[in-house]
Amino acid sequence: MHYHYYYQKYPYLNYNFRDTDGLYRMFSIPPKMLAAEFENTFSYRPKTFFDCGAATGVIVWLALRAGMDARGIDIKKYPYQFSCYDELFRNGNIQIKSILDCEPIVADIVFCNGTLTYFSEKELPKVLDKFRNSKMICAIHNTTEDVEAATANGDELTTCNKTRLIKPQNWWMDTFTKKGFNTKYAEHIRCFCAVPSHGA
């Protein structure tokens, strides 16, 4: 049986969602695993969670169920939400706006699932500045190494929107570091974890 590269890299959580141009499958990391990584770093459990690029609201919902005060944003309202997530949009847990239009985010965990790749190289530092008052950024996104590994596996990495920053893993590490974050790549969950230097 052929397992797509996404399944091999992020087997922890996947779900279908509908966008304006079709049905897609999202691969992600459960908030409880991100919370464990946070606790391993800071020795206490995270209380607040912010999803930058919340899409249909699945991750915010799971973070709430994991006991965190969770909220998020997305630049658009997707044409389809599961009924149990509708309330997240109605009550303001998830707002439709760009991170560039937000006040600085204060949260224990900021989660970006692919979100950072949709900004230009010029915009990215402004985005990272929004997270300097948070404790830890957990970011997953495809790198040039992912593209090569997927191709070798016979797969093509696709997304419902056109990304702008597919860069090598070291480029992302250097970019976080230059912006004043202490950064590591958590191999066991395949996630970049960046802590502002003043927050460690």
Give the pLDDT score at 101: 96
Give the pLDDT score at 199: 44
Closest by CA to 185, choosing from 155, 146, 132, is 146
On whether the CB atoms of residues 13 and 27 are closer than 8 A, the answer is: yes
Q: Which residues, 6 or more positions from 9, have their beta carbon under 8 angstroms from its beta carbon?
A: 27, 146, 190
105-128 pLDDT per residue, tens: 999 999 999 999 999 999 999 999
CATH number at residue 95: 3.40.50.150
Give the pLDDT score at 161: 58
Cα separation, 68 vs 61, in Å, equals 10
DSSP strands (E only) in the chain: 13-19, 22-28, 48-52, 69-74, 94-96, 109-113, 136-140, 181-186, 191-196
Give the pLDDT score at 82: 63
The whole domain housing 16 covers 5-196
Cα separation, 94 vs 141, in Å, equals 21
Give the pLDDT score at 186: 94
Domain tally for the chain? 1
Spans in the chain with pLDDT lower than 70? 79-83, 158-162, 198-200
pTM reported for the whole predicted model: 0.92
